[in-house]
A and B are shown apart, each in its own frame.
Chain A
Amino acid sequence: MNLTPDLIVYWQMGFLKLNATIVFTWLVMLVLVVGSILITRNLSNNLQRSRWQNALEVVVIIINKQIEEVGLSQPQKYIGFLGSLFLFIALSALGTIIPGFEPPTGSLSTTAALALCVLVAVPLFGIQEQGFGSYLSSYTKPTIIMLPFNIISEVSRTLALAVRLFGNMMSGAMIIAILLTITPFLFPIVMTLLGLLTGIVQAYIFFILATVYIAAATRSVKTQTQKKAAQQPETQNTNESKL
């Protein structure tokens, strides 16, 4: 039994290798992309539409709404990244009910890659919204003393993201594997169901945390600019009253 699907290597040539993580990632990607293509091939904007389109619309709308509820006023800009995170992790978790399926999220390499994506995406979106200087200055808030702590926080939360997801997914798979050896029949099914729930919850947690980070990075300056905008008319008024 392997602790991580990285260890299941199908093909290797020097540094390059094809392990179970990559293969099952491709499988998940294939399912997602082909499914999307098949469903969105015949989209209808009438009131009459297919059940698959309805299901897909429900998923997209819920993701959109979640992003909006967290505080990102233009969810269309972020749904590509955040929605893909959620769908990939959720589908990986759902795949665990298929015998022989190794969830790619049960590999620390995958979760680390996803966490790195978040680590890079947060400042990118922040800079896109606020500008480079403004975003970087947010690390020195409220004082310059907080700069190292902010950086540590940034790194540690990325690490936490990666490890949390990996731990949950790996533990789920491990528990099922161990239970299969001890009580082969009924109990592993219950644990599989529990694992499904955990997997979906983890997907949601990962997605919502990434959203919150991005929202925090884009909103901090918005509030400042709003404050400035609110202050400006007041100063103008005072100037006018002086004149």
Chain B
Amino acid sequence: MLIDWFTVIAQLINFLVLVWLLKHFLYRPILNTIDAREKRIADELADADSKRAEAEQQREAFQQKNTEFDQQRTAQMNKVGEEAKAERTRLLEEVRQESDALRSKLELALKNEQLSLKDSLSQRAREEVFAIVRKALSDLADTSLEASMADVFVKRLDALADAEKATLQAAFQELTEALIVHTAFDLPKKQSIQITKALHGLLGDGVAIEFATDAHLISGIEINSHGQKIGWSIADYLTTLTKRVNDVMLSHNTVQDQSPELEKSQEQAS
């Protein structure tokens, strides 16, 4: 008989024991370990997925921020550029205005300098001209000329209008001191008497008359007393001439000064 029933029973028990032992020591621990590992791997994968998603999200956020920052930077750059441009224009305008002002100031100063130079030149020229004239006339003047002038002086006294004569008489009437007649040179006796006569004829015989020389007169006769002056001299002529020339120069300068202002006002109006 190939089957031994005791062995069969024993093997049955053996096998059941083996099943229990292997279940306890082999399958359960191994399967648990595998499950734990799979769970761990799944967790790690999920964690990696979530981290990747988070990283992706952060990357997108960062990219968005970067784009915004770029845009802001571009806007700021544009704004700063515009401001710099405006500032440059403003500064250039300011500088241009300043330079214009300075230039006009310089022009004015130059013009003034030119004018003053011109003035001084004309003044000097006048003075030189008058000095030459004065010298020439001084050189020409002598006693005979003086005598001639005394004649002319007497004639002029005679030719005075009655009203003028009355005024002179009234002025010199109350004169207590002697009336001094200034001449450039000592008059010859004849002309002195002639003048004395003429004056006595005009003012009366009671008036004392003295003669004095005055080099400033160049040539001529002058009577000064109580604010009244009767005279005829080359110095007077020269004084009158100088005064007139100065008046002419002054009026000319005034016209020249006014003409640039007129031009300016016309430009502004246009």
- Chain A positions within 8 Å of B, measured between CB atoms, are 3-4, 6, 15-17, 19, 21-22, 25-26, 29, 32-33, 36-37, 40, 43-46, 53, 56-57, 60-61, 64, 76, 79-81, 83-84, 87-88, 104, 107-110, 112-114, 116-117, 166
Contacts and interface: CB of A to CB of B under 8 A. Distances in A.
A88 B15 contact: yes
Q: Which range holds the interface residue count of chain B?
A: 20 to 34
B118 to A, nearest CB: 110
Nearest to A83: B27
B252 to A, nearest CB: 115
B3 interface: yes
A76 B16 CA distance: 17
B110 interface: no
5 contacts: A33-B21, A84-B22, A108-B3, A112-B8, A113-B15
A181 B10 CA distance: 33
A109 B22 contact: no
B14 A22 contact: yes
Contact of A61 (B6, B10, B21, B34): B34
A32 B25 CA distance: 10
A108 B5 CA distance: 10
Contacts of A61: 34
B4 A19 contact: yes
A113 B25 contact: no
Nearest to B11: A113
Interface string B21-51: 1110111011101101100100000000000
B29 A110 contact: no
Given A83-B22, A109-B7, 19 more contacts: A3-B2, A19-B4, A21-B4, A32-B22, A33-B21, A36-B22, A45-B37, A57-B30, A60-B26, A60-B30, A80-B19, A80-B20, A84-B15, A87-B22, A108-B2, A110-B7, A113-B8, A113-B11, A114-B11
Nearest to A115: B8
Given A40-B26, A61-B34, A117 B15 contact: yes
